[in-house]
Copies of this chain bind each other. A is one copy, B any other.
């Protein structure tokens, strides 16, 4: 492949634009985006959006539905499955999450910290249990979820940024100031787990524990139940599950 001077100059802008085009789909409806919608969401001229989308379609990163709308393509899904912090982590952890679900019959989640949010890597939904706001590949605010709180000690700069505020409130119980945030994180670090009641949705309680591999929290496991649930019998199962996943991750050398 030849390298022209134009490539050398133009690269950064194009990569950022490709990232913007793909990112536009994170809040897109299930049926996909028309070219006009895509251009508007990326703040790109229609001609530029058309050219980029066409190139991404040729690379099978985007696909078009029969009605012409653009959607994330199968190729991108395949590439995404190679992410160690996504699918790799999920593959190792899944049997232990299933065991925790069988024992507790509550919703079970596997989360990783990314900036000031936690990303839901896997989620086992209990039938007849409380509704979850999350979906695999979705994000939740770290300061309002027990999984986020147990991961924040590993990211002091993120904790400082969150403490500098403002903190978005989702319910009357959501942590709203720096003092309360630092105290909750400190307690979670001391006891090795965190419980939050009604912080993200009024009707649910979540408990979480970090999955610590080689001294570093690689992920968090959480159990989400109805607000009236007595969490004390769930905590030992949560802690043993987090440790089992940590052992399996260390053995698989998957960070």
Residues of chain A at the chain B interface (Cβ within 8 Å): 1, 3-4, 6-19, 22-23, 25-26, 28, 30-32, 43-45, 48, 51-52, 55-56, 59-61, 63, 65-66, 71-88, 91, 112, 114, 119, 136-137, 139, 252-255
- Chain A binding site: helix, strand, loop or mixed by DSSP? helix
Of the A-B pairs whose beta carbons lie under 8 Å apart in the complex, a sample of 27, sorted by A's number, is A1-B44, A3-B45, A3-B48, A4-B10, A6-B9, A7-B14, A7-B17, A8-B48, A11-B52, A12-B51, A14-B15, A16-B55, A16-B59, A18-B18, A28-B82, A31-B253, A63-B85, A72-B83, A73-B83, A74-B119, A76-B79, A77-B81, A77-B87, A78-B86, A79-B80, A81-B136, A87-B136
Which residue in B15, B55, B255 is a CB contact (below 8 Å) of A65? B255
In the bound complex, residues from chain B placing their C-beta under 8 Å from that of A22 are 79
Known: A7-B48, A15-B56. 8 other contacts (CB 8 A): A1-B43, A12-B55, A15-B52, A71-B83, A72-B82, A72-B86, A76-B79, A77-B81
The winner among A23, A60, A77, A137 for most chain B CB atoms within 10 A is A77
